[in-house]
Amino acid sequence: DVKVTQSSRYLVKRTGEKVFLECVQDMDHENMFWYRQDPGLGLRLIYFSYDVKMKEKGDIPEGYSVSREKKERFSLILESASTNQTSMYLCASSLLARKQETQYFGPGTRLLVL
Protein backbone atom coordinates (compact mmCIF):
# COMPACT_ATOMS: atom_id res chain seq x y z
CA ASP A 1 0.00 0.00 0.00
CA VAL A 2 1.05 3.54 -0.66
CA LYS A 3 2.02 5.43 2.45
CA VAL A 4 2.22 9.19 2.61
CA THR A 5 3.24 10.64 5.95
CA GLN A 6 3.26 14.21 7.18
CA SER A 7 5.56 15.38 9.95
CA SER A 8 2.92 16.91 12.21
CA ARG A 9 -0.81 16.45 12.72
CA TYR A 10 -1.25 19.77 14.53
CA LEU A 11 0.90 22.89 14.59
CA VAL A 12 0.49 26.23 16.35
CA LYS A 13 2.69 29.08 15.13
CA ARG A 14 2.86 32.82 15.58
CA THR A 15 2.49 35.44 12.88
CA GLY A 16 5.80 36.07 11.14
CA GLU A 17 7.34 32.71 11.98
CA LYS A 18 8.91 30.55 9.29
CA VAL A 19 7.02 27.25 9.09
CA PHE A 20 8.12 23.97 7.53
CA LEU A 21 5.68 21.21 6.68
CA GLU A 22 7.25 17.92 5.67
CA CYS A 23 5.83 15.13 3.55
CA VAL A 24 7.35 11.73 2.80
CA GLN A 25 6.09 8.99 0.47
CA ASP A 26 7.41 5.45 0.26
CA MET A 27 6.23 4.36 -3.21
CA ASP A 28 8.85 5.96 -5.45
CA HIS A 29 6.24 8.31 -6.93
CA GLU A 30 7.47 11.03 -9.24
CA ASN A 31 4.66 13.51 -8.54
CA MET A 32 4.07 15.18 -5.20
CA PHE A 33 1.51 17.84 -4.34
CA TRP A 34 0.63 20.29 -1.59
CA TYR A 35 -2.99 21.38 -1.09
CA ARG A 36 -4.76 23.45 1.47
CA GLN A 37 -8.29 22.58 2.53
CA ASP A 38 -10.75 25.18 3.77
CA PRO A 39 -14.47 24.72 4.53
CA GLY A 40 -16.64 25.40 1.49
CA LEU A 41 -13.63 25.72 -0.81
CA GLY A 42 -12.55 22.12 -1.13
CA LEU A 43 -8.89 21.45 -1.86
CA ARG A 44 -6.80 24.05 -3.62
CA LEU A 45 -3.41 23.24 -5.13
CA ILE A 46 -0.51 25.28 -3.77
CA TYR A 47 2.50 23.71 -5.50
CA PHE A 48 3.45 20.45 -7.10
CA SER A 49 6.65 18.71 -8.15
CA TYR A 50 7.22 16.15 -10.87
CA ASP A 51 10.87 15.41 -10.13
CA VAL A 52 13.68 16.19 -7.71
CA LYS A 53 14.42 19.93 -7.64
CA MET A 54 11.52 20.59 -10.04
CA LYS A 55 8.45 22.53 -8.97
CA GLU A 56 5.43 24.17 -10.51
CA LYS A 57 2.99 26.69 -9.07
CA GLY A 58 -0.53 25.60 -8.43
CA ASP A 59 -3.59 27.81 -8.08
CA ILE A 60 -2.63 29.61 -4.84
CA PRO A 61 1.19 29.77 -4.49
CA GLU A 62 1.40 33.23 -2.91
CA GLY A 63 3.05 33.20 0.50
CA TYR A 64 4.40 29.67 0.06
CA SER A 65 7.50 28.00 -1.32
CA VAL A 66 8.52 24.36 -1.67
CA SER A 67 11.60 22.20 -1.69
CA ARG A 68 12.23 18.78 -3.14
CA GLU A 69 15.81 17.65 -2.58
CA LYS A 70 15.01 13.94 -2.55
CA LYS A 71 12.42 12.03 -4.52
CA GLU A 72 10.54 10.81 -1.46
CA ARG A 73 10.36 14.13 0.38
CA PHE A 74 8.46 17.32 -0.45
CA SER A 75 8.49 20.28 1.91
CA LEU A 76 6.10 23.22 2.08
CA ILE A 77 7.51 26.43 3.52
CA LEU A 78 5.62 29.40 4.85
CA GLU A 79 8.27 32.12 4.77
CA SER A 80 6.40 34.42 7.16
CA ALA A 81 3.23 32.87 8.51
CA SER A 82 0.06 34.93 8.53
CA THR A 83 -3.31 34.30 10.14
CA ASN A 84 -4.93 33.74 6.75
CA GLN A 85 -2.70 30.70 6.33
CA THR A 86 -4.51 28.94 9.15
CA SER A 87 -5.80 25.86 7.39
CA MET A 88 -5.56 22.11 6.89
CA TYR A 89 -2.61 21.20 4.67
CA LEU A 90 -2.65 17.96 2.70
CA CYS A 91 0.20 16.32 0.85
CA ALA A 92 -0.34 13.81 -1.97
CA SER A 93 1.74 11.74 -4.36
CA SER A 94 1.18 9.86 -7.62
CA LEU A 95 3.00 8.16 -10.46
CA LEU A 96 3.91 10.44 -13.33
CA ALA A 97 3.77 7.89 -16.09
CA ARG A 98 0.07 8.10 -16.81
CA LYS A 99 -2.26 11.01 -16.16
CA GLN A 100 -5.01 8.76 -14.88
CA GLU A 101 -2.94 7.73 -11.92
CA THR A 102 -4.57 8.12 -8.51
CA GLN A 103 -3.25 10.65 -6.05
CA TYR A 104 -2.67 9.25 -2.56
CA PHE A 105 -2.98 11.55 0.42
CA GLY A 106 -1.30 11.94 3.76
CA PRO A 107 -3.26 12.45 7.01
CA GLY A 108 -2.97 16.23 6.88
CA THR A 109 -1.48 18.92 9.10
CA ARG A 110 -3.83 21.32 10.81
CA LEU A 111 -1.99 24.63 11.15
CA LEU A 112 -3.12 27.44 13.42
CA VAL A 113 -1.36 30.79 13.05
CA LEU A 114 -1.92 33.17 15.96
What residues make contact with another protein under the rule CB under 8 A?
A: 4, 9, 31, 35, 40-45, 48, 50, 56, 58, 90, 92, 94, 96, 99-108, 110
Tell me whether residue 52 or residue 79 sits nearer to another protein (CB atom): 52
What is the smallest separation between the CB atom of 16 and another protein, expressed in angstroms? 27
Work out the burial of residue 72: count CB atoms within 10 Å of its CB; fewer than 13 is exposed, 13-18 middle, 19 or more buried. middle
Q: At CB < 8 A and 24+ separation, what contacts does 53-59 make?
A: 58/33, 58/34
Q: How far is the CB of 54 from another protein (least distance, A)?
A: 11
Q: Which is nearer to another protein, 73 or 110 (CB)?
A: 110
**Least Cβ distance, residue 31 to another protein (angstroms):** 8
| Whether 56 contacts 48, CB under 8 Å | yes
Question: 34 has which bridge partners?
Answer: 47, 91
Residue 8 or residue 17: which is nearer to another protein going by CB?
A: 8
- Smallest distance, another protein to C-beta of residue 108, A: 5
User: In this complex, which beta carbon is closest to another protein, that of residue 23 or of residue 81?
Assistant: 23
* Non-local CB neighbours of 74 within 8 Å, separated by 6+ positions: 23, 25, 32, 33, 34, 49, 66, 67, 68, 91, 93
